[in-house]
Structure 1
Amino acid sequence: MTDPTPQALATPTPEATRQLIAFRGDRTATGPATWGQQHIWRDIVAMLPDTAFFNIAQVAFVPPGVDLPGVLEQLAELTSRHESLRTLAVPGADGSLQQRVLAEGTFEVDVLELTGAEHGAELREHFAGAARRLEGRGFDNTAEVPFRALVGVLDGVPQAVVLCLSHFAADLAGVRLLAGELGALLAARAEGAEPPPRPPAREPLEQAEFENSPDGLRMEEKALRHWSTQLDRAPADNFPRPPGDPAAPRFWRGELVSRAVPEALRAAAERHRSTVPNVLLAATAALLARSEGLEACGLKLVTANRFRPELHHAVGNVAQEVFVAIDASGDSFTDVLRSVWTATLGAHRNGQFRPERARALAEEAGVAVDCLVNDLWSTTWETPDHPALSPGQLAQAAGESVFRWADRLDQDEVAFFLETFAVFEDPGLIRITLLGDTSRMEPARIEGFLRGLERVLLALAEGDLPPADFPSVAGLNVPGPVFR
């Protein structure tokens, strides 16, 4: 099968001209890293030298009337407004981590001259590819500011800006806020109006100060009690059989691009009176548990941690991974949905803590916490305005789904990591990736899980499906019993 990526994305980007743009902020300061920064820093170090894996990019379009100097000026304004964009990581010899805010310096902007492109789909496709290429260059978070940009210029007129940040600087919600703020600044510039003020929000140094305050530490204790409760309810390992011989490289990431899955999720959510994110998580958890001969599974999820007013508009990395135990033992999919709703509600209320303390709890409990689900797609998905597809149309759409191997890694710390993404060029598609440890999931089972999840969701769109039947519908054999 072929990759559905449009041809415009497969062609090399013309050479861009790199400029260094100066910024100036209010202060130079050093202090403890936030818990969110500590969390992602450990992951970044574990993946060295592939730090680009943790980059995040977003696109903002430039309104008519703003020239290139105006765009560059607003990018410098963003960097001056937000300390996270000019913060370095300062690791200590003892394993501690601090953050250092720079008062002045420079960041890189690549200017890409375009010819023959047009507004609309072609421009969107071109910049989807440019964003991926921009993301593919890692940051040295200890030496360079964690922010860069690319400006696309058509016949001398700026058309779009790709913002790229290290995950150390901001999570996805923070980068989306930044892109929205840039759009507002550019719109004001185009209209000759005063720039909108920066929305009030905590800076990372202020967040770290709160986390280490009495109120912050009480919040952490509550979160860790929740972790302990969830660990008590989870199986010791989602893959209870002894590991097999891994492939080389050991970790394989498969990718399924589907038009059927969004439509099936929409129909299943309506049928089961739930939400699209909960249906996706419940189906994933139940399929993982039941295909391994278990009646529950433990998963780490990503929580945004933006429920506090002072973090609503924070451009920073405040997201953390939280652990949930999901019960898949019931006779109905509705039972799994109920477990998901309860578990996720509690987890998202208890998502701020020092990551090393949570790891210590998991080790003490003897529970493997190496399975993750990160659903990014549903955070931007909107219900389409066309009628729901019929079962026949869903089956036809599923026949057009495309699987490919995205990459293979020598090192990681996960056994199972499922993520969902929007497809920039086509909002009707979803891209689901699964990174698996081939000593726990052989490559054929990684592909089988993604294709099987699609089959399960199509079945749930038509009616109820007992969790015990998930493996057979998915086409996944259940391994035999574990002898101890």
Structure 2
Amino acid sequence: MAVVVSEIAVAFEGAGGGAGELTWGQLGIWRRTQQTGRTMNLVVHMPLEPGVPVAELAGMLRFLVSRHPALRTRLRFVAAPDGGLRPQQVIAEAGKVPLRIVDLDDGDELVAAVEEQRSRYELDFFDYEREFPIRMAVIRQSGTPVHLVIGYSHVLLDGVGIRALAGDLEHFDRAGGEAGVATAPPPEVPSPLDVAQAQGAPSGRRQSSRALRYWAAQLDRLTGWQAAEPAVGEEPRYWELVGYSPAMELGMRAVAARTGVGTTHVLLAAYAVAVSRVFGRDPSLAQIVVGNRFRPGFAELASQISQHGICVVDVADAAFDEVVARAEKAVTGASFAGYYDPVECDALLAQVAAQRGRPLGIEWHLNDRRDNAGAGERDGVVPDARDVDEVLPLSKWYWGRKVPVFDGALFIQVDSEPLVPERRIPGVTPPAVHLEIWIDTRSFAVAQIEAFAREMEAVVVEAARA
């Protein structure tokens, strides 16, 4: 492959410079990267419309970085009370970010070039003291821009923040070229420094204390648990089970219509029942991602303010629709309590574990990343049992990536479309959920996870037939 790489320095200017503490969301992800060794970088990529000039893409980069302080943020490290160093954020009012240009010849493989760039952005740590938290690469073939790859530091931007950036592009004047012309003022939202300052104020400390009392109450509901099947431990240590299930998507929509809740709540209920049946853990436990955009002033904020919330759901002696109602209540409670000082939360978890004399076993995550709780959910079409049964044979389950480092014992990512391009199903396909079920093979037997995944689907299908 004949690849030539060059860079264009894109200048930016924006208001709101300064330095201060990290937000709770930023600090939580920073601590996670240090604990796990994962970059946790977020990467998106897309084909470009024919004829898009590089100047327009440079202008788009200038537009985004100039308008959103999170993209102009680097870290500095100051003395901590324990004698070590702790991070603070520094927002620049002016500077430059590189736009990477990757040139391919006619015969070069575009898919391979995109994957190489995507992987580089995902796996290479940002130089937080010197590098701004956005990387952008334009891939050209025979001089024509054909694909765009963008990487973000998850320490400084969350997934909802990426959607906020995409929404703000409605105000980017594409005809303005590399000037980055805007057709409207930037969103009226607090800067990350404003958010951190409010969190450190007395009202913020009270919010954190309330949230941690909720966490403590949910931890008190958990009973002792250990896996029925011994885990062998594989190399690499972390394995990914990939799932594609139209039956789960249609089934969840059918149950949601019947119960009057969102499909996220149906998903959590199915998870809870499958956890009880396969792992014998009841109440079930899942940490969810709380985007916190329902809080005043945060709706259009492009920053890192997401945090984990704790969901404990009891399924004993309950019909599935009742479990769905319990799951909705759990998500609501977890969301309101998903805004807290992560240092204090870690201290609480360590204290409870020490009191019980054993690990808490709460590194189980369920992250529903679907827009508005499900692809096609807003089209008003309510599937029935026949629709679900018709697509059930289309389900696919197989083992995918294996890596030495990941996050947690069980981490389930749920999407409307696969993030790995090679996993896209060709042709016209029904709405489906795409699952990435990551496991620590030192915590779970591989066969047990396969049974768990299929049980989640079976629970939904069974409920849709009711």
Distance, in Å, in 2 between the alignment partners of 1:356 and 1:193 is 41
Which residue, out of 22, 39, 47, partners 1:33? Answer: 22
TM-superposed CA distance for 1:17, in Å, is 4.3
DSSP-derived class of the 2:276 partner: helix
What's the offset of the Cα at 1:337? 1.2
In the alignment, does 2:380 pair up with 1:375?
A: no
Q: Which amino acid aligns with 1:110?
A: R
> Is 1:445 aligned to 2:448, yes or no?
yes
User: Given the alignment of the two structures, is residue 43 of structure 1 paired with residue 32 of structure 2, yes or no?
Assistant: yes
Map of 1:404 onto structure 2: 398
TM-score by length of 2: 0.83
Cα pair 2:229 2:444 within 8 Å, conserved: no
The counterpart of 2:332, out of the listed 321, 340, 345, is: 345
Amino acid paired to 1:398: L
> Residue 284 of structure 1 aligns with which residue?
271
- State how 1:3-82 maps to structure 2 within 5 Å: 17-26=6-15, 28-48=17-37, 50-51=38-39, 54-58=40-44, 67-82=53-68
TM-score (norm. length: structure 1) = 0.80
Counterpart residue number, 2:421: none
Q: Alignment length, in residue pairs?
A: 441
How far did 1:15 drift?
5.7
Paired with 1:392 and 1:149, the residues of 2 have a C-alpha distance of: 46
SS of the aligned residue for 2:74 comes to: strand
Match of 1:233 among 214, 221, 224: 221
Q: Is the counterpart of residue 306 in structure 1 residue 298 in structure 2?
A: no
Query: Counterpart amino acid of 1:435?
Result: W
The change in CA–CA distance for 1:388 and 1:178 in structure 2 (over 3 A counts) is same
User: Contact 2:412–2:435 (CA<8 Å) still a contact in 1?
Assistant: yes
Q: How many angstroms apart in 1 are the aligned matches of 2:163 and 2:116?
A: 17
Q: Which residue of 2 aligns with 1:119?
A: none
Kindly provide the amino acid, as one letter, of the partner of residue 326 in structure 1.
V
Deviation at 1:441, TM superposition (A): 1.3
What's the CA shift for 1:172?
Answer: 0.4
Partner residue of 1:83?
A: 69
Give 1:426-437 correspondences, 5 Å limit.
Answer: 428-437=431-440
Could you say what the CA RMSD is over the residues aligned between the two structures, in angstroms? 3.4
Amino acid in structure 2 at the alignment position of 1:224: L
Decide which moves more: 142-151 or 359-368.
359-368
Contact 1:36 1:319 in 2 (8 A): yes
* Amino acid paired to 1:205: L
Question: 1:132, CA displacement in angstroms?
Answer: 4.0
Assess, with a 3 A threshold, how the Cα gap between structure 1 residues 196 and 349 changes in structure 2: closer, same or farther: same
Post-superposition shift, 1:60? 7.4
SS at match of 1:339: helix
Q: 1:429: Cα distance to partner?
A: 3.4
Q: Can you list the C-alpha shifts for 1:285-312, whole angstroms capped at 9, x where unaligned?
A: 2211232223311221110111223211
SS at 1:57 equivalent: strand
Instruction: Answer with 20-29 or 155-164: which moved more.
Output: 155-164
Identify the range of structure 1 (28-37 vs 127-136) with the bigger mean alpha-carbon deviation.
Answer: 127-136
2:177 matched to 1:177? no
Q: CA deviation at 1:412?
A: 4.3
Q: Which moved more, 1:71-80 or 1:178-187?
A: 178-187
Conserved? CA contact 1:28–1:102, under 8 Å: yes
Distance 1:127 1:185, change over 3 A: farther
Shift of the alpha carbon at 1:395?
3.9
Q: Deviation per CA, 1:126-146: give whole Å up to 9, x if none.
A: 998688446434223333111
Question: Contact 2:68–2:302 at 8 Å: present in 1 too?
Answer: yes
DSSP-derived class of the 1:328 partner: coil
**Letter of the structure 1 residue corresponding to residue 97 of structure 2:** F
Which residue number in structure 2 is paired with residue 265 of structure 1?
252
Q: Are the counterparts in 2 of residues 66 and 186 from structure 1 also a CA contact under 8 Å?
A: no
**Deviations, residues 240-282 of structure 1 (Å, cap 9, x unaligned):** 5596432223322211122322122112222333321100111
SS at match of 2:439: strand
Change (3 A) 1:38 1:386: closer
Deviations 1:403-446 (A, max 9, x none): 23232233445221111123265683322011112233111222
Q: Is the partner of 2:297 in helix, strand or coil? A: helix
Which residue of the partner structure matches residue 350 of structure 2? 363
Note the C-alpha offset of 1:38: 0.8
Contact 2:5–2:101 under 8 Å retained in 1: yes
Distance 1:348 1:128, change over 3 A: farther
Displacement of 1:207 in angstroms is: 0.9
Secondary structure class of the residue paired with 1:460: helix
> Per-residue deviation at 1:209?
0.6
How far apart are 1:393 and its partner, in Å? 5.2
Matched, 1:454 2:444: no
Cα distance change on mapping 1:400 and 1:155 into 2, 3 Å: same
1:274 paired residue number: 261
Task: Say if 2:56 and 2:175, in contact at 8 Å, map to a contact too.
Answer: no
**1:177–1:155 distance in 2 versus 1, CA, 3 Å:** farther
1:418 and 2:421 correspond: no
Match runs of 1:120-199 below 5 Å:
132-133=118-119, 135-138=121-124, 139-151=126-138, 161-187=148-174, 189=176, 195-199=183-187
> Are 1:224 and 2:212 counterparts?
yes
TM-fit CA distance, 1:161: 4.3
Q: Distance in 1 between matches of 2:155 and 2:365?
A: 19
Q: Which residue of 2 aligns with 1:478?
A: none
Contact 1:134–1:164 at 8 Å: present in 2 too? no
Per the TM alignment, residue 40 of structure 1 is displaced from its structure 2 partner at its CA by 0.4
* Contact 1:62–1:186, Cα closer than 8 Å, also in 2: no
1:79 offset after TM fit, Å?
A: 1.0
Q: Partners in 1 of 2:175 and 2:381 — Cα distance?
A: 38
Distance 1:13 1:310 in 2: 48
Gaps of 5+ in 1: 1-11, 117-122, 464-484
**Does the aligned pair in 2 maintain the 1:271–1:461 contact within 8 Å?**
no
